[in-house]
Structure 1
Amino acid sequence: MTSLVGLFRAVARPSFLKTFPRSEAKITVAMRGIMTQQNLPHLPVPPLKKTLDKYLRTVKPLITDEEFKITSNVVAKFGAPGGVGEKLQSLLEKRAKSTTNWFADWWLNGAYLEFRSPVTVYSSPGLVFPLQNFKSSDERLTYAAKMIAGALDYKKKLDEDAIPVEKLGKDPLDMSQYYKVFGTCRMPGLTKDTLHFADPNNPPRHIIVSHKNHFYKLIVYDDNNNILSWGKLLQQLNEIIQSAGEPGPPIGVLTAENRNVWGKAFKKLSEDRENMESLDIIKNSLFLLCLDGPNPDLGNLNFQTRAALQTVHGNGSEANSGNRWFDKTVQFIVGDKGEVGLTYEHSPAEGPPIAFLMDHIVNYIEKAPSDVAGGKSPKPEKLKFNISGKVQKVLETAKENVDKLVDDLEMSCFTLKAYGKEFIKSQRMSPDSYIQMAIQFAFYRIHNEPGAHYETASTRKYLDGRTEVIRSCSLESVAFAKTMLGSKSNEEKVKALQEAVTGHKQYTIEAVNGFGVDRHLLGLKLIAIENGMDIPTLFMDTAYIRSSHMRISTSQVSGKCDSFMCYGPLVVDGYGCCYNPLPNEINFGTSAYKSCPDTNAEKFRQALEKSFIEMHDALVSVQKSKL
């Protein structure tokens, strides 16, 4: 892995660089209503000195005093008047004046399209819907039909510009990501992928349903372009179930391969005319619905964890990993035991548009009217794939590789039942900052040291905004963890918690306003590379390397329903931790890699629960003492 690839893996979800042409990045997709947002401000370039001062403060907990002295000298030299930092800052400011978002093109390429490891586990999250208890195949297929209808109903609202503009306080947010979800597909390349978007002049009228590794084209609109009723959709799903026969070869696992390998296999597949037609039908579909088969014995894992694993990777080549097309932006998943949710390819959008889509579907399913479908529905079309000897060989290797991914990922998902965001609000604290400090505390409890900690902040208040990093590990968070684990009074523990929460909240405000550390520093490095300059010493210093090795990768993805998102860790010796704070409980999806002896998802879950309880008890004790 090149140093630049490693850099991107350290500061987001993976990878590499090349300027993405603006004509491609802007995307030809119907975006009614978005044009009214062209007056959104452009992403600012933060002042160099402020970023460097903030950077020193964020790295201090992660390095020794001697290392900090060295880093301070490196930073001082970098930021000196007339030094390399000022030169790079000037170049970055020049770039910002000529683009709507100086970071967006770099990010799409670096974090996604030139990342060559599999999207499965390493990049694409799973989103678990409220779990079901299907008592029959009819019940399951009815749910699936309503899920399709709910997604199409949401798309109709997008097409009619009926989705309200989100706001952060009084600031409207960029809504373009919402319009990049349907009809989008990541296309594999030999060294770099591309994004395919549906033609707005000839929008898709079909989806793909996968079952037993077979792929079917389903027309979902009538001749007048009205959405088919869920009853008619149910007819098509029943026909698929009845006609599927034996499982087909798990061709879908190719989409879980290394992107270069998949790019070569895609080229080979495309040499056959029928294959090319099938690939085009999948590429141009609105989304996938995966009707999954049974899963292997997963031992004592709870239902939430089972569902999380199924949405992230499908549990292997002999289970449901071949019943996927991981390149599609959205794949809805309906398991045979009630595991329901989706997996999404991350490059076009962050979590909020996907969570809004989920909430709409869940609400639609709950309120869907009775439907007695009259007349005949369109007949599903089974797609054909002819697998040559060369492709078969790649397919066998892909099966082995996806099984290795499946075997290595450990997840422990749970609901903290003790309390939720309403209790935290009653303590006059930010729920997100409070949860972040609990995660820091849990890590410190296990490892007896702080860990570099990534939390996603949205920069969508700016045109084409994506994300910034909230560096949750701080001097205050370390002091808080030490205080909680020491023999301090409850008053001292609460005071340390309040200070840590206040510090995190302040950093969050700066990050969502585009004034974090990571994107600015990364921009300075990339502009140096783009201009053929030497990479400054700052980016090879111990502090930068250690603070960018995000051992804790976290994100709040809030859904109104009983749901949670989940994904793999960013680094081998790290944890993934996504959460949905509900009024009286909090859902968590946590992960680790079994191949790392220092991390364990179940131990992290236990430490996290214990941390929440101890924080609660300290707060309640102090409250009682004041009565």
Structure 2
Amino acid sequence: MAEAHQAVAFQFTVTREGIDLQLSHQALTEIYLSGVRSWKKRIIGLKNSVITGVYPASPSSWLFVVIAILATMYTRSDPSMGLIAKIQEHLPVSQSMSTQCQTLVSAVLFSTMLWLLLIFTMRMCLKKLLSYHRWMFEKHGKMSNTTKVWVALVRIFSGRKPLLYSYQGSLPNLPVPAIKDTVKRHLESVRPLMDDRQYEHMTKLAAEFESSLGNRLQWYLKLKALWSTNYVSDWWEEYVYLRGRGPIMVNSNYFGMDFMYVTPTPIQAARAGNSLHAFFLYRRKLNKEELKPNRIPGTVIPLCSAQCERLFNTTRIPGEETDTVQHWQDSDYIAVYHRGRYFRLRVYQAGRLLSPREIEFQIQRILDDPSPPSKGEAKLGALTAGDRIPWAKARVKYFSSGVNKRSLDCIEKASFFVSLDDDEDGVTADDPASLDSYAKSLLHGKCYDRWFDKSFTIIYFKNGKMGINAEHSWADAPVVSHLWQHALSTDCFQLGYNAEGHCKGEVDSSLPRPQKLNWEIPPECEEQISQSLAVAQALAGDVDLHVFSFQDFGKGKVKKCRVSPDAFIQMALQLAYYRDQRRFCLTYEASMTRLFREGRTETVRSCSNESSAFIRALEGGEAAHVCRRLFHEAAEKHQHLYRLAMTGAGIDRHLFCLYVMSRYLGVESPFLKEVQSEPWRLSTSQSPMHVEMFDLVNHPEYVSCGGGFGPVADDGYGVSYSVLGENILSFNIACKLSCTDTSAHAFGAQIRKALRDLLQLLIPNQTEFKTEEKRPEAKKDL
């Protein structure tokens, strides 16, 4: 009980002589330093709020305006055209305030109002500038004069040294597309999937919807768009994520992987020490808004950063009808799982962040702790892996008071969750399937050794490998990816390890031990844990996951063909799916809408009339020059659809919101019902690679296979892919073993063949491809 005693600031006993107080100097010092840290954070937050609030101007510009107005008054001219005099007339008359003083105060008030008006004008101008998207539709390398002027104006109105959230007030709102445009594009997208009779039926439903109910629903949507910051995001979070009553493990959560060929240290605790320190360095930068604002790579165009706010100290709370996302302002500890036990590990001591070596020391203490788990504790995490309603009921019944509530609060309010695995995982040179098992471990583990409700869980394996599992409702993958890759680069290239593989630095051996959480789990709750575990294990056991890196060529060679790498990969996926299933399917590719405030994602329907025409021609043995022309038409169409999605002209989020509105109004729409029932048998997403954090030219071995997600449709594929530098592509393929028509490994083979065939088509003299995937050679100076 040493931990409990250290948490008490003072003790007292009642004796005959009176009350004897025994103050704990160490505990009071900790309370004082904790308060100082909290107030420093509040002051920094207040300062950043002021700077962000007046952006694109700066607080110091107020003084410049005041001095300028006073200077003009000194020359006996009136820049206010009588307004300063009017303000002076209405100032409270005071005997202690001279006429000269009243004039000065009036001038300062006028200057302040003028300054605020200038800020508002600049912000509106920047917002209008950021609403211009024609630049995205111009051909690569051919910028119009209008766009050149626009870029210059954006730079002028963007101010200097913006903070992370500086652009938030200047980002435009997501527009509501016209009904006729959405209906037209939807019909165009489903044409290659339907025969003439089905298409005629869909066309009739669409016409009826557009001429009647659609206009009414559109009116309500436009009203919502005027009232809310983003007409999609709140409904998307609630209805797509939080109202789902099935397991979020596999179905919603996604994962990110460590380096494929490099393990910086084989010591589990040391890897945790460095990377955990890196995560908190990132959080410090996030809190101080020292991270650069998100931008479209290679441009000055800002992206919405709102999703970063809930990165840390966030948990999804289960409910019977709908879950909620709970975010706390601060947390100075992490929750750690090891061998069925849960621990509370403080990462701040005396107001400072623990060094990597000290965190390693604390993690090793947990690894060496011989205490057994409490009764029912070992598989408690299965509650977060099973269905949501049983978990919500169990949380209210068994975790709403006493020791269970305190321990659950500790997990939910933690900065994030950490799982220390006893297994060794990662890429093994002599075991091709090792990458698959590694990905499955990150996706679902043993179904009870992750806390799937936390914003993210970091997994550390016994051999020093690591990975991440993230909950999806609060944010999308690019936000987590930036954090993850920042931690990987900081761990390897900034913090480093000593010759023995331990973290650098010294250890304060007086650090209090990590606190083991206590639980009192009744038999009824144990039964519910077992039921949730059975559901989760059945779901996890049905996942067929295949991960591979494709090293025959990468985006460098694709760009020489004058084709977008993303369009090239999407065409390869369409070709691979057609060869695998002998049909086309509705294809989902995730695109972002973060050009707009609080934007999240939109769908690019990659299967188009152009792509299907190309594939039929290629598979039908048409001449190479015909296939090349059709390929370029399909790739250009895909890029056009991608640009439409990014600029708010996508169709799926609009159709989704129209459907939700129809449900609110209690009206049935056969057209919207048909749209929402269409299955996404091929769901794809590109995992972002932040190349500025890594030097893949000199250190090509520091590459990851990105991340992945579980299968979306029972009879379909989920494919996540990454473009790693100039020469490597990676793929994560998921489907269900229970479906006899799908196979992750077979589809992976089809993707490899499709990639090679497409490059051979575009570059006819291409030499023979190598058949084995080789590890990148490390530079000699390593």
TM-score normalised over the length of structure 2: 0.71
- Alpha-carbon distance in 2 for matches of 1:234, 1:540: 54
- Alpha-carbon distance in 2 for matches of 1:246, 1:279: 19
Count of aligned positions: 580
2:233 is matched by which residue type in structure 1? A
Residue 336 of structure 1 and its aligned partner are, at CA, apart by: 2.1
Give the structure 2 partner of residue 276 of structure 1. 405
- Alpha-carbon distance in 1 for matches of 2:475, 2:539: 24
Larger Rg: 2
Give the structure 2 partner of residue 14 of structure 1. none
CA contact (8 A) 1:132 1:339 kept: no
Give the structure 1 partner of residue 335 of structure 2. 208
2:686 is matched by which residue type in structure 1? Q
CA contact (8 A) 2:578 2:584 kept: yes
Give the structure 2 partner of residue 53 of structure 1. 184
Give the structure 2 partner of residue 184 of structure 1. 314
Give the structure 1 partner of residue 281 of structure 2. 153
Residue 271 of structure 1 and its aligned partner are, at CA, apart by: 4.1
Change (3 A) 1:132 1:234: farther
1:467 is matched by which residue type in structure 2? T
CA contact (8 A) 1:455 1:469 kept: yes
- Alpha-carbon distance in 2 for matches of 1:296, 1:414: 16
Equivalent residue in structure 2 for 1:313, among 444, 447, 451: 444
1:62 and 2:169 correspond = no
1:403 and 2:537 correspond = yes
1:569 and 2:711 correspond = yes
Equivalent residue in structure 1 for 2:234, among 105, 118, 125: 105
Correspondences of 1:355-374 after superposition (within 5 Å): 355-366=481-492, 367-369=494-496, 371-374=504-507
Give the structure 1 partner of residue 301 of structure 2. 171
- Alpha-carbon distance in 2 for matches of 1:619, 1:506: 21
1:545-598 Cα deviation digits (max 9, x unpaired): 56x310011111122442311111111111110011112011111000011111
1:239 is matched by which residue type in structure 2? R
Deviates more, 1:378-387 or 1:587-596: 378-387
- Alpha-carbon distance in 2 for matches of 1:606, 1:148: 37
Task: Indicate the structure whose relative CO is greater, using CA pairs within 8 Å and at least 6 residues apart.
Answer: 1
1:473-526 Cα deviation digits (max 9, x unpaired): 111111122222221232222222211110100000000111111111111121
2:247 is matched by which residue type in structure 1? P
2:738 is matched by which residue type in structure 1? S
1:194 is matched by which residue type in structure 2? T
CA contact (8 A) 2:248 2:385 kept: yes
CA contact (8 A) 2:548 2:705 kept: no
CA contact (8 A) 1:131 1:340 kept: no
- Alpha-carbon distance in 1 for matches of 2:294, 2:318: 32
- Alpha-carbon distance in 2 for matches of 1:420, 1:338: 29
Give the structure 1 partner of residue 584 of structure 2. 450
Q: Unaligned stretches of 5+ in structure 1?
A: 1-28
Residue 339 of structure 1 and its aligned partner are, at CA, apart by: 4.1
Change (3 A) 1:322 1:68: same
**Aligned-partner SS, 1:86:** helix
Deviates more, 1:54-63 or 1:484-493: 484-493
Give the structure 1 partner of residue 423 of structure 2. 294
Equivalent residue in structure 1 for 2:744, among 584, 601, 605: 601
CA contact (8 A) 2:338 2:420 kept: yes
1:168-226 Cα deviation digits (max 9, x unpaired): 34431110112211110001112211111013xxx1100111111211111111222x2
Residue 34 of structure 1 and its aligned partner are, at CA, apart by: 2.3
Change (3 A) 1:492 1:56: same
Residue 296 of structure 1 and its aligned partner are, at CA, apart by: 11
- Alpha-carbon distance in 2 for matches of 1:250, 1:365: 31
1:219 and 2:362 correspond = no
- Alpha-carbon distance in 2 for matches of 1:623, 1:498: 18
1:512 and 2:646 correspond = yes
Give the structure 1 partner of residue 272 of structure 2. 144
Change (3 A) 1:244 1:440: farther
1:304 and 2:435 correspond = yes
1:355 is matched by which residue type in structure 2? S
**Aligned-partner SS, 1:400:** helix
Equivalent residue in structure 2 for 1:441, among 548, 559, 575: 575
Residue 303 of structure 1 and its aligned partner are, at CA, apart by: 2.4
- Alpha-carbon distance in 2 for matches of 1:390, 1:250: 14
Equivalent residue in structure 1 for 2:668, among 531, 535, 558: 535
Change (3 A) 1:274 1:124: same
1:572 is matched by which residue type in structure 2? D
- Alpha-carbon distance in 2 for matches of 1:430, 1:134: 33
- Alpha-carbon distance in 1 for matches of 2:409, 2:576: 47
Residue 131 of structure 1 and its aligned partner are, at CA, apart by: 3.9
- Alpha-carbon distance in 1 for matches of 2:436, 2:532: 24
Residue 132 of structure 1 and its aligned partner are, at CA, apart by: 6.6
- Alpha-carbon distance in 2 for matches of 1:133, 1:493: 41
Give the structure 1 partner of residue 152 of structure 2. none
CA contact (8 A) 1:132 1:340 kept: no
Change (3 A) 1:491 1:623: farther
Correspondences of 1:473-552 after superposition (within 5 Å): 473-532=607-666, 534-541=667-674, 544=675, 548-552=678-682
CA contact (8 A) 2:420 2:459 kept: yes
- Alpha-carbon distance in 1 for matches of 2:290, 2:713: 40
- Alpha-carbon distance in 1 for matches of 2:312, 2:745: 36
Equivalent residue in structure 2 for 1:196, among 318, 326, 350: 326
CA contact (8 A) 1:132 1:337 kept: no
CA contact (8 A) 1:214 1:244 kept: no
2:717 is matched by which residue type in structure 1? Y
Change (3 A) 1:426 1:577: same
Residue 70 of structure 1 and its aligned partner are, at CA, apart by: 1.5
Give the structure 1 partner of residue 477 of structure 2. 351
Deviates more, 1:393-402 or 1:588-597: 393-402
- Alpha-carbon distance in 2 for matches of 1:97, 1:136: 54
Give the structure 2 partner of residue 6 of structure 1. none
1:233 is matched by which residue type in structure 2? I
2:434 is matched by which residue type in structure 1? F
- Alpha-carbon distance in 2 for matches of 1:573, 1:244: 46
**Aligned-partner SS, 1:411:** strand
Q: Unaligned stretches of 5+ in structure 2?
A: 1-43, 50-163, 498-503, 692-702, 768-782
CA contact (8 A) 2:425 2:434 kept: no
Give the structure 2 partner of residue 253 of structure 1. 382
1:591 is matched by which residue type in structure 2? A
1:400 is matched by which residue type in structure 2? A
CA contact (8 A) 1:491 1:622 kept: no
Equivalent residue in structure 2 for 1:43, among 174, 177, 188: 174
CA contact (8 A) 1:469 1:516 kept: yes
Change (3 A) 1:537 1:271: closer
CA contact (8 A) 2:705 2:731 kept: no
CA contact (8 A) 2:249 2:444 kept: yes
2:759 is matched by which residue type in structure 1? H
Residue 269 of structure 1 and its aligned partner are, at CA, apart by: 2.5
Equivalent residue in structure 2 for 1:460, among 594, 606, 614: 594
**Aligned-partner SS, 2:348:** coil
Change (3 A) 1:301 1:79: same
CA contact (8 A) 1:48 1:86 kept: yes
CA-atom RMSD, angstroms? 2.2
- Alpha-carbon distance in 2 for matches of 1:36, 1:475: 39
1:525 is matched by which residue type in structure 2? Y
Change (3 A) 1:384 1:56: same
